[in-house]
Amino acid sequence: ALKQAASGGSSTVPISATASQLIPVAAALAAKPTADGVAKPTADGAGPAVPAVDYKETDVVCKSSTPISFSTPRGKFECKLLSDGRCVLEQRTPKGVTAYAVRPEHVRRVMRLDIGDSNNTTYLMVAIDPNHALVAGKQKMQTLLAQVRGKDAPATVQFLDANGPCPGRDVYEARSRDQPPGRDGAPNPAGAMAALVELFFGLCAASERCAVPKTDRVFAGVGGRGCVKANHKFNQGHLFMFDDGLAFAERPALWLPWEDVADLQLQRADGGSGTFDLRVTPEGGEPPHEFANVSREELEEVQRYLAKRCSEAGDEGEDEDGAAGAGAEAGGGAADMLDDVESDEDSDEEDEDFNAAGIDDDDDDDDDDEEEE
């Protein structure tokens, strides 16, 4: 019909109808399997193309029974665990397939973040080694963030025994049985999602669990969930404080371990405002992250938390020499910024050795100097 129209001849098929018929053909070609039986991932229409993940369906030893909702990367993905230990996140749309693969040895940290909002939202964050960050076009993702709400159906796993044994299956099944019930005695969606993430990212095989905030020893916050409410640019979220770093959810999903932090500052901490800010500068020349508008009710505990883990936790009221000293010392990495692990067990009297800015009080040293004179 198009050829006849171009040559001036008549056509009994409208061009618009022909174009509409080509759409399903293009979609079928985009999802056409390759020689190994797997469609090559392409852009899903909303984001950049990602590299192909080569595997065969016979390599899949288990997969999620239903797609799992992710904030990063955004969308619903089917989770597949391969016999070589890789976890594949795969999203199929009429325009093609988007897939990402993560090896268990590249997983840096897995955390369970309970928000405690009206929807009983829980995030499962998977931090990836920056040297093996997932690539989508020019973008790099160092964290994955799955989400589940209290009203969601508990996630389940389908095991494909014909393709071989699933590493960590026994541990996963035991944890699924031992999950405490949710509201009204129903299955716990957050617990089910945590067990699924532990299975697919290698924690069950290693007999490890998701990290959770230590509200009894590290940081509790006013809400008692190990986090504070904060804004990152225009996005409202929650900043969780772990013994070895900071995690922010939901957007952007961030994991900032202390060993990767070059400098941090408390800002507006000594003013009359009802809020303050925390500015964290990563190493390697990356731009700083500013977590703004934290309630002043959280200030005292945040200062104690930072003082235990950092050589200095200065605010913007320090003089130039003090700020430079803090930055230089922080630039030494984890060894300079982290206190002894035993600092979590320090007494309250030791906590009082830090003043309102989180810096050592040296009044006793001054008294000693006067006596010597």
Kindly report, residue by residue over 109-131, the tens digit of the pLDDT.
999 999 989 999 999 999 999 99
In a domain, 214, yes or no: no
Is 318 part of a structural domain of the chain? Answer: yes
CB 36 within 8 A of CB 55: yes
Residue 292 has pLDDT above 50, yes or no: yes
Statement to judge: residues 71 and 120 lie in one domain: yes
Report the percentage of the chain scoring pLDDT > 70. 68
Q: Is residue 206 part of a domain?
A: no
- Does pLDDT of 169 surpass 70? yes
Q: Are residues 346 and 295 in the same domain?
A: yes
Closest residue by Cα to residue 57 from 31, 34, 36, 77: 36
Segments in 156-260 forming alpha helices (H): 169-177, 189-200
- Rounded to whole angstroms, the Cα distance separating 373 from 370 reads 5
Closest CA to 339 of 269, 258, 281, 257: 258
Extract the tokens encoding 141.
């993702």
Does 210 map to a domain?
A: no
**Dihedral, CA atoms, 303, 309, 310, 313, nearest 10 degrees?**
0
Domain end among 200, 219, 241: 200
The verdict on 255 and 350 lying in the same domain is yes
- Its pTM stands at 0.72
20 & 60 share domain: no
Cβ distance 62 to 169 under 8 Å? yes
Q: Do 231 and 351 fall into the same domain?
A: yes
Mean pLDDT of the chain: 78
Which tens digit of pLDDT belongs to each residue from 31-79?
444 433 444 444 333 445 566 789 999 999 999 999 999 999 999 999 9
- Show the domain range for 285: 227-369
| 60 & 144 share domain | yes
Q: Please report whether residue 168 resides in a domain.
A: yes
Q: Which DSSP state fits 47?
A: S
For residue 175, the domain's CATH number is 2.30.29.150
Residue 35 in any domain: the answer is no
